[in-house]
Amino acid sequence: MGNAPYPGEFEQMVLLAILQLEDEAFALPVLRELDGRAGRKVSRGALYKTLERLVDKGLLEWQVEDATPDRGGHPRRRFHVTEKGVEALRASRNALHRLWEGLDPVLGKPTS
């Protein structure tokens, strides 16, 4: 898959949600972002697995933040999309864009 593998559809959604959240990209806000913006109800287990996979692929990295009182002393992870991740998203978007082109008569205009 070369040095910037195409992420899968759900992986892309996760990466995009993390980019949207900027400094607030913790696991739970990502879940809410996916639900709110993309209308995807995601199980926690699925999200955790995807996050680990993205880290393994080098598209995502995280740093540990201090616990809030609600977390009973457990730390939390703030996620960042790596350069490689941004590159992969860009490549994916370009590829898709080329494929989408000229299909509006069939699919209609995109809705937001």
Partner 1 sequence: MSAGARTPPRLAEWLLARFVPPGVVGHTIIGDCREEYAEFLRTGSWVPGAVWYWGHVVRIIARLISPSRRDSLGVRGPKRGLGDRVNQTLRFSVRSLLHRKGFAAVAVATLAVGIGATTATFTLAEYALLRSLPFPDADRLVALYSFNPERGLGMSNVSYPDFEDWRTEGDIFVRAAVYRVASLDLAGGTAPERIRVTRAGTDFFSVLETRPILGRVFDASDHDVGSPNVIVLDEGLWSRRYGADPSIVGQTVRLDGAGYSVVGVVGADGHWPMGADAWIPQRFPGGQPTRRSNHSWSGIARLRPDVTTEAAGARMSELTRRARMDETYLATDPFSDVDRGVQSTTVSLARSLAEDELRIVFVVLVGAVLSVLLIACINVSNLFLTQASIRGREMAIRSALGAPRRRIVAQLMTESVLVALAGGALGIAFAQGALALVAQFAPAEAALPALAPSPVVLMLALACSLVASVVSGLAPAIQGARANATDALKESSGQTTSTAGAQRTRRFLVGFEVALSMVLLIAAGLMIRSVQHMLRADPGFEVENVLTFRVNVPAARYPNIDDVERFYNDAISRLTDVPTVEAASVSSTVPIGGGLQLFRVFLGEGDPEPPAGPDHGAMWYEAGPGYLEILGVSLLDGRFFTELDRRTSAPVIVVNESMARRLADDGRVLGKRIRSWRDENVYREIVGVVPNMAISSLVRAEQTAVFVPVSQSTRRGNAFLVRTMGDPDAALPGVRAALAGVDDGIAMAGTTTLQDVLEVSAGSLRFIAAILSAFGAIALVLAIVGVYGLTAFSVAQRTHEIGIRMALGGQGNAVQWFLVRQSGRSALIGGVVGLVGSFIMAQVVGAQVAGTMAVGVDGRTMGMTDPVAFLATGLLLAGVGLVAAYIPARRATKVDPVTTLRVE
Closer residue to partner 1 (CB): 77 or 86: 77
Count of residues interacting with partner 1 (CB under 8 A): 23
Structural tokens at position 7: 């992420």
| Of positions 8, 20, 24, 28, contacts partner 1 by CB under 8 A | 28
Q: Nearer Cβ to partner 1, position 69 or 110?
A: 69
Smallest distance, partner 1 to C-beta of residue 78, A = 10
What Å distances lie between residue 73 and 31, 85, 100, CA to CA? Answer: 21, 31, 47
Positions 42 through 101 that interact with partner 1 (CB under 8 A): 43-46, 48-49, 52-53, 56, 64, 67-68, 70-77
- Estimate the crossing angle of helix 44-56 against helix 9-21, to 10 degrees: 90
Tokens read off for 99: 């494929």
The CA–CA distances, whole Å, from 79 to 1, 55, 88, 98 equal 24, 10, 16, 30
- Tell me: does residue 27 bind partner 1 (CB under 8 A): yes
37 scored as a contact of partner 1 (CB under 8 A)? no
Cα separation, 66 vs 97, whole angstroms: 40
**Interface residues with partner 1 (CB under 8 A)?**
26-28, 43-46, 48-49, 52-53, 56, 64, 67-68, 70-77
